[in-house]
Amino acid sequence: MIAKSPKDIASHLAKREERGRKARALKASAWRRETFRLPRDVARTKAQEWFRLYPKAAYMTEIENWHECDNGDIEFTIRCLPSAD
């Protein structure tokens, strides 16, 4: 970007700072989240695998949201803490 005025420079810097702020906020999130879109039986197996690897009692694992897609697949987001304390 070639800035033509101080206003252009200020606008550019403000946008860059906002992008950095958003990136830092995402990075600082305490939760690890992954979203999957799988056939129903595979989705169930994937969720069970996560609960086996990251037990709810230690990692606070949970299905954050889910819905059935038009083609019958299940799209879901599962979250857990990155480490057990």
> Is residue 25 located within the same domain as residue 36?
no
Q: Is the dihedral angle over the CA atoms 57, 59, 65, 67 positive or is it negative?
A: negative
Q: Are residues 82 and 57 in the same domain?
A: yes
With b meaning 16 or more CB within 10 Å and e meaning fewer, what string describes 21-35? Answer: eeeeeeeeeeeeeee
pLDDT at 27 over 90: no
Task: Give pLDDT, residue 14.
Answer: 84
Beta strands of 1-85 (E only): which ranges? Answer: 32-38, 62-68, 74-80
Based on the fold, state whether residues 47 and 70 are members of the same structural domain.
Answer: yes
37 shares its domain with 67: yes
Q: Domain check: are 40 and 61 in the same one?
A: yes
CA dihedral for 70, 73, 79, 82, sign (positive or negative): negative
Q: Do 5 and 18 sit in the same domain of this protein?
A: yes
Domain count, the chain: 2
Q: What is the pLDDT of residue 80?
A: 92
| 6 and 43 co-located in one domain | no
- 54 or 19: which carries more pLDDT confidence? 54
Same domain, yes or no: 42 and 76: yes
Give per-residue pLDDT as tens, 38-78.
Answer: 999 999 999 999 999 999 999 999 999 999 999 999 999 99
Of 30, 27, 28, 25, which Cα lies nearest the Cα of 81?
A: 30
What's the whole-number average pLDDT of the chain?
87
User: Which residue would you say has higher pLDDT here, 12 or 57?
Assistant: 57
The domain of 5 spans 1-29
* Strand, helix or coil for residue 83: coil
17 and 3 housed in the same domain: yes
